[in-house]
Structure 1
Amino acid sequence: MNSTRPASEDLSNAEWFKSSASSGTGGCLEVAFLPDGRIGLRDNEDLDNPPFVVTRHVWECFLHGAKGGEFDTP
């Protein structure tokens, strides 16, 4: 299985979450924890594009980097 790919299945019934820091603003990344352990990611302003689906390992690596400041702008 690919670690990241656009979703080929219908995820319209998935339960999507976004950060409380994005309340009232557009352009939010939404996350869905799928029953098979994968993670769905989508842009809430562009729902016509399919979500990306990543493995739990990829998600955990991303979170580790984000929490460690690897993606902070200079």
Structure 2
Amino acid sequence: MGAHQRAKLECDNGMPAAQIGDVRWRKSGRSNPNGECVELADLPDGRVAMRNSRFPCGPALVYTKAEIAAFIQGAKDGDFDDLA
């Protein structure tokens, strides 16, 4: 997919991750070896997509950079420790 096509790509919450196109998905180095993790990708428009690594063609959730920053800071602060 060329840069011009990437710039026109519109990503919506719940769209199939495979339709997002040529992005680099990455996961945490703390992910377990069973593949039970999420993967994130920078989108050309500055947002961040998230998908379940076990279902790479399944739905993707799309967040703004500010939403991702708030989530990461909350995780660092221990806000979600009770969920693990």
- TM-score, L = length of structure 2: 0.71
Q: CA deviation at 1:62?
A: 0.5
Output the aligned Cα RMSD.
2.2
Give the structure, 1 or 2, with the largest relative contact order (CA under 8 Å, sep 6 or more). Answer: 1
Deviates more, 1:6-15 or 1:43-52: 6-15
Larger mean Cα displacement after TM superposition, 28-37 or 17-26: 17-26
Counterpart of 1:39 in structure 2: which amino acid? V
Give the equivalent residue in structure 1 for 2:5.
none
Percent identity of the aligned residues? 34
**CA pair 33-64 structure 1, distance change in 2 beyond 3 A:** same
Say which structure is richer in helix.
2
Q: 1:5 is matched with which residue?
A: 13
Q: Which runs of 4+ in 1 moved over 4 A?
A: none
Q: Give ranges in structure 2 of 5+ residues lacking alignment.
A: 1-11
Task: Tell which structure's C-alpha radius of gyration is larger.
Answer: 2
Q: Find the counterpart in structure 2 of residue 66 from structure 1.
A: 75
